[in-house]
Amino acid sequence: MKQLVLLFAFMITLGAAANVWSDDLIMDKDALNAMLAAPDLVILDVRTGKDWSSSEFKIQSAERAPAAEYADWSASYSKDKTLVLYCA
């Protein structure tokens, strides 16, 4: 993958306790808006359960990709794609 940009609380479960936070892993909405026209951009909504189903705020072009199923969907994206994962 050209870029893997992480913007979600999923990192808490994967290693925030080990101080893996970096400014490179966090993107604000303005930075994402600037990327929306890119043809290689894939936005993945990794929220689960009620966080996803009850949310009134969803990015229209985002694909649902539950974090717990990462092993299933992660290999299905071309390495030429820029993946933005979010959990709000």
Q: What fold characterizes domain 3-86?
A: Oxidized Rhodanese; domain 1 (3.40.250)
Looking at every residue in the chain, the average pLDDT score rounds to 75
- Pairwise pLDDT comparison (27 vs 76), residue with the higher score: 76
d(CA 53, CA 4): 25
Q: How far apart are CA 46 and CA 13, in angstroms?
A: 13
In which residue are the tokens 């990794």 written? 46
- Would you state the structure tokens that stand for residue 18, as one six-digit string? 């080990």
pTM of the model: 0.66
Q: 88 with 55: CB under 8 angstroms?
A: yes
- Per residue in 28-87, pLDDT (tens digit) is 888 888 988 899 999 998 888 788 788 888 888 889 898 888 888 888 988 899 888 888
State the Cα–Cα distance between residues 6 and 87, nearest whole angstrom: 9
Structure confidence at residue 23 (pLDDT): 53
Which residues are bridge partners to 4 per DSSP?
83
